[in-house]
Amino acid sequence: MDILLATFTALFTVVNPFGAMPVFLSLTQDDTAAHRNQQALRACLYMALILAVFFLAGQYVLNFFGLRLHDIRIAGGLMIMRAGFGLLNSKAHRGKRVSKSVLQEGMEKDDISFTPLAMPMLSGPGAIAVSIGMYSTALSYTSVTLILVAILCVAAVTFLVLIFSHQLVGYMGKAGLSALSRIMGFIVLSIGINFISTGILSLLGKSLVLCLEM
């Protein structure tokens, strides 16, 4: 259960569906409720698939490019920290930042579930880095299953947040969204620092082992 809760908390905070609500509402403002819910469901399924694939195959991708897990943890931690600082910004209640060209393209598309909703808004570089960083050869089959279950739980809760986004925005207002963004930003920032410190300590540990062997 510790692995399940830790994975869910880390991924949900970085995915941050609350930050995706304003953009989701803008892109689906002229859609029917049924079509909007369909787009949210497909986006969350795509997100779960993307994160699961990177979790399971991320190590092979790293090996192909000659990278180590410590490298991705440090690089991912820097990206996650940047996202955390962005959420702490006073304008964070406006939602996740997407370029005008991406937003315009989304407005013209009938299906926004994969892009820009699932990628890069929900399963962006930070969430992918967290997914890859959770993998370890020491994980048991039970732990791997629990992490995959946690990814599905994140997708399920994200789906609920998106389909009730109209009610949530109306209930919380800009002040509530801004306060929530700052809370999420602080947690995301902490996760980024944890990723960087874990990567650095692992590198130092390996360097120390190499020095002792010499």
Residue 90, pLDDT above cutoff 60: no
Residue that wins the pLDDT comparison between 214 and 76: 76
Q: Percentage of the chain surpassing pLDDT 90?
A: 25
* Span 158-205, pLDDT tens digits: 999 999 988 888 888 777 878 888 888 888 888 889 888 888 887 787
Task: Report DSSP letters for the chain, one per residue.
Answer: -HHHHHHHHHHHHHH-HHHHHHHHHHHTTTS-HHHHHHHHHHHHHHHHHHHHHHHHHHHHHHHHTT--HHHHHHHHHHHHHHHHHHHTSTTGGG-S---HHHHHHHHH-S--IIIIIIIIIIS-HHHHHHHHHT--TT--HHHHHHHHHHHHHHHHHHHHHHHTHHHHHHHHHHHHHHHHHHHHHHHHHHHHHHHHHHHHHHHHHHHHHHHHH-
With a cut of 80, say whether residue 92 has pLDDT above it. Answer: no
108 pLDDT exceeds 70? no
Between 110 and 206, the more confident residue is 110
Per-residue pLDDT tens for 148-166?
A: 999 999 999 999 999 998 8
Predicted local distance difference test score (pLDDT) of residue 106: 62
Q: Which sign does the torsion angle of CA 187, 190, 4, 17 carry?
A: positive
- Residue 160, pLDDT score: 96
Contact between 95 and 23 under an 8 Å Cβ cutoff? The reply is yes
Residue 51's domain spans which residues? Answer: 2-213
Higher pLDDT, 41 or 92: 41
Number of structural domains (the chain) is 1
